[in-house]
Amino acid sequence: MFRNYHYPQHMELLKKYSIHIFGIIAFLSIFSLGMIAFIKQMSSGNGSLATYIPYGILLFFLNVFYIKIIRLSREDYENKLKKEKDYSQEILKSQKRFLRYAVHETNTPLAVIMANIELYELEHGKNILMSNIEAATKNMYGIYDDLSYLAKKDKLVYSQQKIRLADFIQTRMEFFNIVAHQSNLSFTFDNNCVEAEIFINETKLQRVIDNNITNALKYTKEYEVIKVSLYSKNDYCIFDISSHSTIIKEPERIFNAYYRENFGQEGLGLGLRLVKNICDEENIKIVLESNEDKTSFTYYIPKGSHENIIT
């Protein structure tokens, strides 16, 4: 019966509201005594206005006292709430500062690693060890780019540009091709939208494409093919990426921040949330399908002219 009873929590609530409980009890007690005296006086036939003045005065001052206590209690609560709010905002600012510094300090080592890999391969050719390092570094670049975008997105204006979507997707697939090879995976690209151009910021588009490719590389079963398709329908360029991969158990939560269905895979749980935010900003519709045969993410990207375009 008392299994779920938490004594400390109830005592804390009692302390918090004890002033209010006392005030209510005192008010009801005085009011009740006054009513009893009033009824007795009326029933005896000796009632007069002067008889009840002391009760009225006492009740008045009791109410004033109680209201003052309530006001002090409320001011104390509001002050505590303000302090907690200021503290939370300071923590958030510190977190953002740390994120900016971490992103800045990570960029240089990654650039140095990639540059030295390229120089080594030019001089000595490719080998399995350098390929492993390159694949791992490119995975790190994906995380770095997500964090960099999150750190800067509130301070920068991401102007739209004219981009040939097929060429852009092909470039990003080539960038991650070494990662696919190291994971015993491969890409196919069915391009039926060769000349189509869209208007979007390049950084935003790269976050959408890269996060979909890296997720496919993480969750596609070994020796399978990641199928990338691009085609045109009415006023949309449709980008679709699909593969035989792990079934998404809760698709309605997959775009939530920090949500991960497989904690065995590396990542922060921020990529798809970032993708969803960008798609909402750019009016891009997302369709997710996941079953035993395949998991696919389909993006309906609007064609047409936009404002604030850089050509």
* Rounded distance between C-alpha atoms, residue 30 and residue 217, angstroms: 75
pLDDT of the residue at 147? 81
- Provide the residue count of the chain: 311
Confidence of residue 134 (pLDDT cuts 50, 70, 90): confident
Q: State yes or no: pLDDT of 284 exceeds 60.
A: yes
300 DSSP assignment: E
Residue 50: which H helix or E strand, with range? Answer: helix 49-124
* Rounded distance between C-alpha atoms, residue 165 and residue 300, angstroms: 12
* Contact indicator for 294, 246 with CB cutoff of 8 Å: no
**Each residue of 4-39: b (16+ CB within 10 Å) or e?**
eeeeeeeeeeeeeeeeeeebeeeeeebeeebeeeee
Q: State yes or no: pLDDT of 1 exceeds 70.
A: no
Output 125 or 29, whichever has higher pLDDT: 125
Q: Residue 232, class by beta-carbon neighbours within 10 Å (0-12 exposed, 13-18 middle, 19+ buried)?
A: middle
- For the stretch 23-35, pLDDT in tens is 666 666 666 766 6
Reduce the DSSP state of residue 169 to 3 states and report it: helix
* Contact indicator for 86, 134 with CB cutoff of 8 Å: no
Q: Residue 113, class by beta-carbon neighbours within 10 Å (0-12 exposed, 13-18 middle, 19+ buried)?
A: middle
* Rounded distance between C-alpha atoms, residue 128 and residue 110, angstroms: 19
- Looking at the chain, the whole-number percentage of residues with pLDDT higher than 70 is 71
* Contact indicator for 18, 73 with CB cutoff of 8 Å: no
Contacts of 27 by beta carbon, 8 Å cutoff, 6+ apart: 59, 62, 63, 66
Q: State yes or no: pLDDT of 223 exceeds 90.
A: yes
Confidence of residue 106 (pLDDT cuts 50, 70, 90): confident
pLDDT of the residue at 128? 84
User: What's CA 53's distance to the chain center, in Å?
Assistant: 63
Q: State yes or no: pLDDT of 277 exceeds 90.
A: yes
Mean pLDDT over the full length of the chain: 80
**Each residue of 195-231: b (16+ CB within 10 Å) or e?**
ebebbbbebbbbbbbbbbbbbbbbbbeeebebbbbbe
Record the pTM.
0.67
* Contact indicator for 240, 208 with CB cutoff of 8 Å: no
- For the stretch 138-170, pLDDT in tens is 888 888 888 888 877 877 788 899 999 999 999
Q: Residue range 252-257: average pLDDT?
A: 88
Output 210 or 95, whichever has higher pLDDT: 210
Q: How many CB atoms lie within 10 A of CB 137?
A: 18
Least confidently predicted of 18-27, 132-141, 274-283 = 18-27
* Contact indicator for 276, 251 with CB cutoff of 8 Å: no
Q: Which residue type does 254 have? A: I
Q: How many CB atoms lie within 10 A of CB 284?
A: 22
* Rounded distance between C-alpha atoms, residue 195 and residue 231, angstroms: 10
| Of the candidates 201, 186, 206, 219, the residue with the CA atom closest to the CA atom of residue 144 | 206
